[in-house]
Structure formats: structure tokens, C-alpha cells
Amino acid sequence: MKIKENDFGVLSNGKKVKIWTLSAGDLKLSLSSYGAAWTSLIVPSRNGIKDDILLGYSGLDGYLNNGPYIGVTVGRFANRIKDASFEIMGMRHALNANDGVNSLHSGPRGFDKLLWKSEAYEENEGVYVRFELDSPDGDCGFPGQMKAVVNYGLTKSNEVICDYQAKVDKPCPINLTNHAYFNLAGEGNGNILNHDVVLYSSSYVQVDKTGIPTGNIVPVDGTIFDFRKRRKIFLGGSFLKPFRGYDHCFAVDGERGKLRPCAEVHEEDTGRSMAVFTSQPGVQFYTGNFLKNAAGKHGSVYGKHSGFCLETQHYPDTPNQKGFPSCTAAPGKDYHEKAVFKFDVG
């Protein structure tokens, strides 16, 4: 196991950005202190060829102008909030709208656009980076002071470990996740529509044309949302409109709050497989529908469907949906969620 620290660049305020590289088992993961972003993940194929399977940028400038949220940690609240507002404790809180009239990933300056404190450490059979962020009362419109701690790491068993924690001094909805885009064939190597996917979800969160939940949790049986048996992302015919692919939150089967299977993805040519586990109620399955020729690493250009995301999270618009599992943290009621991404070849 190895930990390596390097400089990644300097922000306009003179603060330095670090990049950490962790090595354990057969994997190598790089992480930036700006946005607590996953910048690279090297994974071998069945033939021993090592590829970077994460979409990303060659340098810090790309992450400073990161419209698709590639690789970043999202907060205070990932996904959409209707009309960029919510009510809690009898008080309405206005957020910044950046997705029409709605708030997406907490507005134009969420946690993905901040410099996190970071330090690396070894623990048991893994190497990790601990990211910390202090968010003041009113940040992005959310109530209360918040301290976020996110730990990302690698284990000797070829697992990427994600541990999300937060404390607040006032009741506040929290929804932290990572927005990594994967292509198991290797970043820049075509689209992901032929990847085989399993989702451990018997139902999904129904949304309107703007991606805001209707309040209904709908069974997947007999629909194009049924991934309970392994199948390709795209089966042919017309794709989902108006989303041009999948951008939906699936309700993960099993007991909420406990780490349980969430998804499996396989790429046949390389033999790479990824299994995902989460403690959260849902996972946003996004197929890169709105990637528009983004300039990626090493000359790669990321067009539509160049990568997919599996964002473990609470349901979108939870603060405005009384029927959804609560994501409200409060003094004495801390936020703590986990996810694991396990890799294999075969």
C-alpha cells in the first residue's frame, strides 16, 4: 500500500490544491482537495492492461470549470430541490436556482467548488484520504453551521471505500455523494451503452420532465427501468425523453441504513466488473446524457453517454417530500452514510 502527495495547482486566492494518489491491491486512485474530487482510477483488465476508468481533466483548470460535475463530492444536498426552496422548522429557506427554477447539487457554488482540508492515513487493510469542510450558517441558503468529513480510500481487496459524515448545529437536510463518471472500457474509449448493468431496485422515483419527483415511488416491473436482471444500458429503439438516457433515482432494495448491494456493472471486452454497495435509500443512475464534447484527459473528448454515474444518495427533493425517507440532520442526530465500489475482472 502506498500514499503519494503532490501539488495540483494554485487557486486565484493563492491557496494550493493537493492531489493524493493511493495504491492498494490492483488499484490506484487519485483525489484532489479541490472539490474532494476523484480524478483517476487505474484498474487492470482481464489481460492485465491498466486503464483509467474515470472521466476527468488533465489539470486543475478543468475542475475549476466543471459544468458536468465530473468526479466531485456534491453537497450540502446532491440532486434537485424543487423551486430552489424548502421549509424546515416553520421557516422557508431560499436556495440559488441553477437548473431552471430548481436547485441542482446545491446551486452554482456547492461543495464541489470549494477547497477541502485533506490528510492521508493508513488503517487496517487500506489507505485513505480524510477531507474536511466547514460550511457556515446560510451557506448556499441552508440553515446552520455544518462540519462535513468525507473519507475516501482503497483496500487490498480492490475496494474504493466512501464514508460520509456531517454535524450541524441546526436541523438541516443533508445529501452527500460523489459524482464520478465511469467507463469500464477506459475513459475516452467510446460510449457506455453496451455495458451490462444490474440494479438491486424493485422501484424508482418517478419524476416530471424537469427531474423533480412527483412523490410516487413506482415499481420497475414491465418498464425500461427494470434492471433487476443483467442487461445492457441501451436496448435499442427510442431512448427516454426528455432525458436522452437515464437520469433517475432508483430505490435500493433492503434495509435502509445498512450497507447492501446496490448495483453491478460489467464490460465484456475488458472483463472489468464493478459492484456497488450503499447504506443510503437510493442511487441516481445517470448515463451522461448532457455531456457535450467536454475536453477530458490526454486529448479525450467526452460526448453524450461517454460515462455513467451511480450516485448513492437520498431521494431528490426529499426536503419537500413528506413521504420520502428523511435526510434531516440535527444537533445530536449526525449524518453518516457509506458506499463501497468493488472491482474485479473475469
Q: How confident is the model at residue 249 (pLDDT cuts 50, 70, 90)?
A: very high
Residue 30, phi then psi, degrees to nearest 5 = -115, 140
**Is it true that the peptide bond before 260 is cis, omega within 30 degrees of 0?**
no
Q: How confident is the model at residue 134 (pLDDT cuts 50, 70, 90)?
A: very high
C-alpha grid cell, residue 301: 473528448
Residues forming the active site: 179, 311
pLDDT at 237: 61
* pLDDT, tens only, 297-345: 999 999 999 999 999 999 999 999 999 999 999 999 999 999 999 999 9
Q: How confident is the model at residue 235 (pLDDT cuts 50, 70, 90)?
A: low
Q: How confident is the model at residue 213 (pLDDT cuts 50, 70, 90)?
A: very high
pLDDT at 234: 85
pLDDT at 112: 98
Contact call for residues 279 and 176 (beta carbons, < 8 A): no
Look at residues 182, 201, 176 and name the one whose alpha carbon lies nearest to residue 338: 176
CA 100 and chain centroid, separation:
22
Q: Rounded mean pLDDT of 189-215? A: 97
C-alpha grid cell, residue 240: 427516454
Look at residues 152, 135, 161, 151 and name the one whose alpha carbon lies nearest to residue 76: 135
Beta carbons within 10 angstroms of residue 191's beta carbon: 20
Q: Give the three-class secondary structure for 57.
A: coil
pLDDT at 3: 98
pLDDT higher than 80, residue 240: no
CA gap 166, 18 in Å, rounded: 22
* 124 vs 204: which has the higher pLDDT: 204
Radius of gyration of the chain (CA): 19
pLDDT at 244: 81
CA 10 and chain centroid, separation:
25
pLDDT at 238: 61
Q: Give the three-class secondary structure for 89.
A: coil
Q: Give the three-class secondary structure for 43.
A: strand
Beta carbons within 10 angstroms of residue 147's beta carbon: 14
Task: Find cell 460489467 and name the residue.
Answer: 266
Q: Rounded mean pLDDT of 77-97? A: 97
Residues whose CB is less than 8 angstroms from the CB of residue 197 and which lie 6 or more positions away in sequence, other chains included: 227, 230, 231, 232, 233, 263, 264, 265, 285
Query: Cα–Cα distances in Å, from 229 out to 130, 200, 274, 282?
Result: 36, 9, 16, 18
* pLDDT, tens only, 16-54: 999 999 999 999 999 999 999 999 999 999 999 999 999
C-alpha grid cell, residue 100: 431552471
Angle at 128 between CA 126 and CA 132, to 5 degrees: 155
Contact call for residues 32 and 16 (beta carbons, < 8 A): no
C-alpha grid cell, residue 162: 466512501
Query: Beta partners for 247?
Result: 286
Q: Rounded mean pLDDT of 69-74? A: 98
Q: Rounded mean pLDDT of 227-245? A: 80
CA gap 231, 29 in Å, rounded: 28
pLDDT at 98: 97
* pLDDT, tens only, 143-193: 999 999 999 999 999 999 999 999 999 999 999 999 999 999 999 999 999
Q: How confident is the model at residue 239 (pLDDT cuts 50, 70, 90)?
A: low
